[in-house]
Chain A
């Protein structure tokens, strides 16, 4: 057996590789509609911000040994360090971009020429605002940015229900692609909190956050707790709405792979809720008695579900969206080799991590796990063409799938990928420089 280790470094590599590759392909796809290039840039920068944030988290875990339960950090060890400051600010920027994503994908909801400029200005302003707020208050209000998810959540829920209702009414299977991507985006953004849906419905998550606050010596504000509760509520509501929608659709049109995915997350959340209830005494022990450790079975369950969903499956989900919705130009031959490399790389990294996780609780000798990994590699290499083709074939952009839902001239306006990348590159540099500066000034973590 091997010791369970953090998945954060894997997530950092996966997100950074996928983010950089996406921006690279988008930069070379001049023939793509501007909407696709905007979406590609947003997804690419979300992945880069998340990847850099995970990189900083990995530094904190390995250099300072600050890894705590539920992917959190022991603030007594890392508060005031550069990596901690940068991690939070990068995550904050990723949240801002994720909050804006539903206004551009699957449709540009605002449908005005200035919407991309609005995105750029809003992202920069929000980054400046949150950076100042967090640095001046020593991250007391961190998580407040989750309130920004509300408008995007409302858009995605409305879009999901609108297209699923019309699909069933008109038996128009094209529309499935829209409701599915709305659902996938909800999972991509709220996936982790979806696995806590039963705990949120039973109002148990506050105890877990209380434990985390006591253990990590967090001095959170009402705004911070409100943000956390908002995030948990949106995740719980989203999975219940998706589940209801998919159950209804399945009864009318039959089961779909996305329906299966939704039901799996629903069941995971249900089991997790029961498990949470079972360990409630341990959760409360930090407040009532002295902190007790969770049973190892509970930790393994968490590693395989919520943590794996955030760190391993979310990048794959974004990769699926990028390829299946033709956001990057999958038809061009010169992009194909890069796409092939990314797909195989991501699948291999994730498979090997899952194998390591399995090895952490099953007494499988190293020889057998190596052989299993070799089998997985063999399958991926042998079927590489088929795997990539199955992802790319049948891919079609939103414009090609439902052109009747787009206004005239949609996606034809000029969009400079270079400007977008320069702005967000400067934003990243700003975050890193200000983190260095504030850490050097010694004003953080006091």
Chain B
């Protein structure tokens, strides 16, 4: 090729040959460096988008109990407050449920003298952050046969404590429903109500009040997760 022809070449001259091939080499190198990452990510992404693995979520629970004993006169209604901030929640744990057990003075379940007092308890809806409308709750109870009254309030959404199997793209998404903060904060307010039964007769004991033991059991949980094979 003559020098004139080389000078009129549209794509390359003697001076531009080295820079041009260097530019091509740079482009090829960049392509090779990035293509590995792209292919690797494509494989991961394809797996991620095409399958939804199953995860087994297990709950470790711990309980803490608060107790108070209240003596109520006949026909008296008394409000008892439990401050949940007094509960020491360990790191990684959340409050899942609150159980309340009201224990009357006589606990034999046998109304021999027809003297079992009628007691009632209500968990009052207030600022306490909980699942107030959950069908699982039992917010009111009443008894006149010397048996304990059991009330319960679910604080954390959908908490049962049972092992769960969920489908999710990754561990984070599987655990997302169990990472909410703020549930179970506030005061638990319980109304106690007593109607004393005094049987008629000369030798029967007289009874004008009732001692009620209120046990509040706060169930806390932490979760652990494992991918099902």
Contacts and interface: CB of A to CB of B under 8 A. Distances in A.
A153 B39 CA distance: 23
B35 interface: yes
A157 B24 contact: yes
Interface of B: prevailing SS: helix
Interface string B41-73: 110111011100000000000000000000000
B23 A237 contact: yes
Interface size for chain B: under 10, 10 to 19, 20 to 34, or 35 or more residues? 35 or more
Interface stretch (A126-134, A258-266, A286-294, A413-421): A286-294
B224 to A, nearest CB: 18
Contacts, number: 109
A165 B34 contact: no
Contact of B15 (A109, A154, A166, A207): A166
Contacts of B42: 220, 222, 225
Given A157-B24, A206-B38, A210-B44, A404 B8 contact: yes
A335 interface: no
Contact of A222 (B12, B26, B39): B39
Interface stretch (B95-103, B114-122, B169-177, B212-220): B169-177
B34 A205 contact: yes
Nearest to A218: B49
B37 interface: yes
B173 A289 contact: yes
B170 A162 contact: no
B30 interface: yes
Most chain A C-beta atoms within 10 Å of own C-beta, residue among B7, B10, B44, B49: B10
Contacts of B40: 206
A161 B31 contact: no
Interface residues of A, number: 48
Given A161-B20, A203-B33, A287-B48, A229 B170 contact: no
Contacts of A219: 46, 49-50
A310 to B, nearest CB: 21
Contact of B24 (A154, A164, A245): A154
A227 to B, nearest CB: 10
Interface string A404-439: 110000000000000000000000000000000000
16 contacts: A107-B10, A153-B27, A157-B27, A169-B15, A203-B33, A213-B45, A213-B49, A214-B48, A219-B49, A219-B50, A222-B39, A230-B31, A287-B48, A288-B172, A289-B173, A290-B172
Interface of B: 7-13, 15-16, 19-20, 23-24, 26-27, 30-31, 33-35, 37-42, 44-46, 48-50, 170, 172-173, 176
Interface of A: 107, 109, 153-155, 157-159, 161-162, 164-166, 169, 200-201, 203, 205-207, 209-210, 213-214, 217-220, 222, 225-226, 228-230, 232-234, 236-237, 240-241, 245, 287-290, 404-405
